[in-house]
Amino acid sequence: MYKAMAISYNNNAFIVNCGIQKGSRHYNNIPLFSIFKSNTRPTLPEVSLQIDIPKTMKNTVAKLIDVFVDSFFEFIDKPLLPSKSNFAPVEELEEAIVVTCIHGRIPNDFPEGVYIRNGPNPLFGGLKSTNSIFGRSSHIWVEGEGMLHALYFKKSNHGSWTVLYNNKHVETETYKLEKQRNKPLFLPAIEGNSLAILSAYLFNWLRSGKVNKYISNTNVFEHSGKFYSVAESHMPQEIDIFSLKTLNNWELSAAWNRPFTSHPKKAPITGELVTLGVEPIKPFAVVGIISADGKKLVHKVDIKLNRCSLCHDIGVTQRYNVIMDFPLTIDLNRLLRGGQLIKYDRKEYARIGVMPRYGNANSIKWFEVEPNCTFHIINSFEDGDEVVVRGCRSLDSLIPEPDPSSKEFEWLSRCHEWRLNMLTGEVKEKDLCGNKLVYMDFPMINENFVGVKHRYAYTQVVDPTSSTTQDVPKYRGIAKLYLEETCAEFSMSKREKEEPIRMEYHMFEKNTFCNGAAFVPRDGGVEEDDGLIITFVHNEDTNTSQVHIIDTKNFSGETVAKIEIPFRVPYGFHGAFMPISFQDSY
C-alpha cells in the first residue's frame, strides 16, 4: 500500500505500485489504466498484418523500430543519494547459503518455515530515465523487477536450527524479454510530460506487445498450498517456495482477464480467496472469489464504480466483502489532456462499501466517510449491527505531491477505525492514536483472525524526520496496538476528546530501519498475541542487514534473536511467514 509510485502493466492494465514516498514518488501497485484489451477483436489492419505481411517484413519493421528507439531515446542511470543507498539493487545468488552468525537464540516454539519478503530490484544497474524528442520520462524506485528474499528455518530432531538465506528475481514474461536482450527494453512511463509517457507506452507495446513491465514486486501469499508473488499489474506468478524458481502465471480461467490485488484475503470459515481487479476503463473494479482449492473462479461481479479509485486492498468479514472507494483516482483523459494521470481531490467523496460475499453492485451498502487515502486495511469484522473497518489512513494525497497548504506530515498514515451500522447507516470514525503524533503503516495481525474480531495488531512505525528529509519512507520500529485498551497516560486528560488506544513499541538503534515485518504464531500458542514478529532490518551506518525476531509477549524487551545476513538486503515491501515442513523437500 504512500509517497511512492510505480506503474506496471499487462495487456489489460496499467498499474501503480504501493510503497510510501513524499513528493509524487512511490506507491505499492495500484492498477492505472487499460489500453489494450485482450478480448478485443483485431481491426482489419491487424488481421492483415498477421496474415498478409511476410515474416521477414515484420522482422524488418521490428528492427527499424528498435533503431528508432535506440537513436532517439537516451537511457540515463538515476543516481542514488547516500541516504538512499539501501534502495540500490543487489546481485542474485546462485544458490542458498547457510547463515551461521546468530545473536541470541531462536525459540524452540518458533515454527519451521520460510520468512519471505518481496521488493523491487531493478535490472541493469538500477532505475532509468530517458530523454527523447518527445520529452523526458523516468522510473520510480519501486518500479524495479521483483526480487524475493527468503530465510529458511529448519529444526533438527535434537532441537538445533539450520538457517539458510536465498534471493531470486521473479522471472515474469517481461523480465525474460529484457534478460534475453541484456539491455533495457521498456521505456520508463511513470514520471515526465504526457507526450513522453504516451510515446513510451506506444513504443513499449510495438517492441514487446506489452505496455510496460510485469514487476511482481509487492507481496507474497499462499492459497491451497501454493505460493504466489504478486503486484497489481498482472495475475500472480506461482513460485517454488523452496528454490524460489518462478513457475507459471496463475491462470484462473478465461473469465478472469484482469489484474489481481496485492492483498487478496481468505474468507473466514470457507477459506475462499477474495480478490479485486481494478482498471481505469469500465468496468473500473471487479470482485472475484476463488474456491478454497484454488481451482475455480466461483464468483465474479462488476461493482459498478463510476471512477477508477486506487483500491489497493480489500477487506473481508464472515459474511461481507469490504471495498474502499476514495478520491485518489486514475484518469486517462487527464493524461491525454496533459494533466495528471493520478490525482487526489479532497473535495470529492470518499466511501466504504459493504457487499455480501456473493452479492452484486445493487447489494452493496455504501457509507460516506471523511475524504482520505487508505492503502492498507488492518482488519475488518462484524460486531453486532456494525461492520468495523480498521486501516492506515492519511489525510493528504499520497500521489502527487501534498497540497502546499496541508499540515506537516499529513501525507503519513495513522491508524483509524470506521464503525458502519448496517441497520441505520450511521458512521462512527475514530483516530486510534488520539492526539499522539505517531505515524505507521504496513499493518499485520495474527492471520487466524482475518475477518473476525481481534484485540491486537502490529505496524511498522515511521521515522517522520528521516522520511521527510530524505524523501523516502523509513521505519524505525514496530508498534503493538492493544485495540481494546486505552492509554492510561492520556485517559485522565479532560482535553483528550478520544482516548487513544494503548500502544507498545520496539524501536531499533539509530539509523536502523525495518521492512517486510510479519507475525508468526508460536507452535502450540493459544492466545491471539502468542507469537513473534520477524522483520528484515538494515543499519545504514554499517551497511549491514539482519533479520530480527521479537517476542510479542515481551514486546519492548530485548530482541530474541538477531540473524546476520552475509549480504545486503535492499528495502522492500510486504513480508510473510509460511509454515512448511522440510522433511521431503529441502
Give the CATH number for residue 236.
2.130.10.10
pLDDT value, residue 108: 94
561 falls within a domain: yes
24 falls within a domain: no
Q: Is the pLDDT of residue 491 over 60?
A: no
What amino acid is encoded at 502 in this protein? R
557 falls within a domain: yes
| CB within 8 Å of 542: residues ≥ 6 apart | none
Q: Is the pLDDT of residue 146 over 70?
A: yes
Distance, CA of 464 to CA of 437 (rounded, Å): 10
Distance, CA of 104 to CA of 121 (rounded, Å): 30
The arithmetic mean of pLDDT across residues 20-49, rounded, is 35
The Cα diameter of the chain in Å comes to 82
Contact between 328 and 399 (Cβ < 8 Å): yes
Share of the chain above pLDDT 90, in %: 63
Contact between 5 and 24 (Cβ < 8 Å): yes
Contact between 341 and 334 (Cβ < 8 Å): yes
- 101, 146, 244, 172: which is closest to 570 by C-alpha? 146
Distance, CA of 159 to CA of 153 (rounded, Å): 12
111 falls within a domain: yes
Contact between 481 and 503 (Cβ < 8 Å): yes
398 or 145: which leads in pLDDT: 145
The binding site for Fe cation consists of 263, 312, 376, 574
> Cell 545504514 sits at which residue?
540
The binding site consists of 263, 312, 376, 574
49 falls within a domain: no
551 falls within a domain: yes
pLDDT bucket at 298, cuts 50 / 70 / 90: very high
36 falls within a domain: no
Distance, CA of 178 to CA of 197 (rounded, Å): 20
pLDDT bucket at 584, cuts 50 / 70 / 90: low
pLDDT bucket at 489, cuts 50 / 70 / 90: low
DSSP 8-state assignment for residue 232: T
pLDDT value, residue 427: 98
Count: domains in the chain: 1
Q: Cα 62 vs. chain centroid, distance in angstroms?
A: 35
Domain that includes residue 480, residue range: 65-579
Contact between 395 and 374 (Cβ < 8 Å): no
Distance, CA of 9 to CA of 213 (rounded, Å): 6
